[in-house]
Amino acid sequence: MRVRSGVAVALVAVLVGVSGCRSDAPEAQQGGGDVKFDVGVTKEPCPEAVDKAKGCIYLGSISDLTEGPFKALGVPITESQKKFWKRVNAAGGIGSFEVDVTKYVKDNKYNPQIHNEVYAEIKPDVLGLAQTLGSPTTAAILADLKSTGVIGVPASWTSAWAFEDVILESGTNYCFESMNSVDFGAETLKAKSVAALHFPGDYGDDAAAGTKLAAEVNGMTFTDIPTAPGQENQGAAIQKLIAAKPDLVILTTGPTEAATIVGGAAQNGFKGQFIGTSPTWNPALLKSPAAPALTALYRQSGPWAPYGAETAGHKALAESLDQAMFKAAPNDGYTAGWVWSYPMKAALQKAVDAKDLTRAGLLAAVKSLETVDYEGMLPEAAGKFSGEPNERVFRQSIISKVNPAAPTGVSVEKDFFTGKTAEAHQFAKPCYQ
């Protein structure tokens, strides 16, 4: 009996030892065109391959798809990315490979723990993440992304991403966007005072930090009004806003909260102007009782122009989407999903050109990107991923105004610009830290 136990223990020890020695990464293989690859790339074609002779690059997507607070964005982002890569594949793919973003799509319910779990599930099968939605959720997997060199495209705009090599962000962040909005308010709207009305966390706090910095530069009075999610929770924020009477309010909330605040403040005679970051807007608000107030008082800042703009990228997006589906629930999540995909395409192309499509090869390709062709949706300079954050951070943003006739209810008022605050800001750390 004792001998059997000894043998069993020895066997378990050997198994543990062997599994401990095993590397997670499979051995590198050679594909078409002598490209070296390992995880998440196969010689076999993609499930819905256009050209069956090509190999497949699998990218995962972790988004808010069913019951989280940002599903109204997550669903169109994911759909738009599927269309983006379908177009890439139809146009010949990436070298001797096509890209699949449909097989490993997971729902994070905007919960960091779930995000981590589903990431662990798909990690052995994907080269990188075509989408990792949310700041706190992405933060939950960031350590692993860094240790394994997995590139992730974030569906969020916090200023912390500029300090992470494995994060492939696009457009400016909430901090610089808010700086530009305040500069715009000071110059164009002649605002003398500004309030940051925001959710807590790296979304709202990042924008509030940018607002405060720009208020100081412009010599404006600054009021900080944090608020909690939920339209029924905005009463106190509205009261504080009315009491402070700022000329300009930088909003970083969700859409229903934004409408409640703008509508409620206007009902109380508030005359200040609002500029909300892109997640504060939903065109469906134009059917709400807050529509007149939004039309009169609200502008939207954004890292790029909304759906329907006249760039080649915007046109390609519109041509790729099922228009009936878009019109049923028009949303700039489609635009965001499309824009976010360009740097991943550029990085994959660069890695294939360098004949190294391993995770390490893709990371090296990302770090060497100097420009990205966004087909006009963003300037090519927005695709600089080499160098220090202060050198490479993209500082330009756009201001849009409410336009009920526009596809997503907003149209560009001021095209890409960098305000004086953003221009001069030394970006040495995330703004909210």
Partner 1 sequence: MNEFVATVVRGLGSGSIYALLALGFVIIYKSMRVISFAQPAFMMAGATLVSHLVLSMNFFLAVLVALLLTALLGAGVERLALRPMIGRPVFVIAIITLGVDIVIRTVVNSFIGLDIRQMGDPWGLEQVGVLGANIDQRHLATLITTLIVVAALFAFYRWSRTGLAMRAASSDQEVALAQGVSVGRVFSLSWALAAMLAGLAGVFLSTGIGLEQNLWLTALKALPVIILGGLDSLGGAVVAGLSIGVVEALVGSYGGDLHPVFGGDFFLVVPYLLMLLVLLVKPYGLFGTREVERI
**Nearest CA to 291 among 268, 269, 270, 266?**
266
Q: Nearest distance from residue 419's CB to partner 1, in Å?
A: 28
Which amino acid is present at 144?
A: D
Element spanning 29, H or E: strand 29-30
Output 196 or 393, the one with its CB closest to partner 1: 196
Residue with tokens 């994959």: 348
- Nearer CB in complex with partner 1: 70/176: 70
CB of 292 to partner 1, least distance (A): 9
Q: Which CB sits closer to partner 1, 172 or 256?
A: 256
Residue 20 phi/psi, 5-degree rounding, is: -65, -35
Judge contact between 245 and 269, C-beta under 8 A: no
Rg of the chain (C-alpha set):
23
Give the separation between CA 108 and CA 236, rounded to whole angstroms: 31
Total Cβ atoms within 10 A of residue 52: 9
Q: How far is the CB of 305 from partner 1 (least distance, A)?
A: 22
106 or 123: CB nearest partner 1: 106
Closer residue to partner 1 (CB): 130 or 259: 259
Q: Considering beta carbons, is residue 71 or 359 the nearer one to partner 1? A: 71
HEC secondary structure over 73-89:
HHHHHHHHHHHHHHHHH
State the minimum distance, in angstroms, from the CB of residue 225 to partner 1. Answer: 9
The least distance separating partner 1 from the CB of residue 39, rounded to whole angstroms, comes to 33
Ramachandran category for residue 97: left, alpha or beta (phi over 0 → left; psi -120 to 50 → alpha): beta
Smallest gap, in angstroms, from Cβ of residue 310 to partner 1? Answer: 26
**Shortest reach from residue 337's CB to partner 1, in Å:** 14
**How distant, in Å, are the alpha carbons of 1, 44, 56, 63, 109 from that of 118?**
43, 24, 21, 10, 11
Positions touching partner 1 (CB under 8 A) are: 66-67, 69, 71-72, 75, 200, 226-233, 235-236, 239-240, 243, 255-256, 259-260, 263-264, 266-268, 282, 284-285, 287-290, 293, 329, 331
Closer to partner 1 by CB, 72 or 189: give it. 72
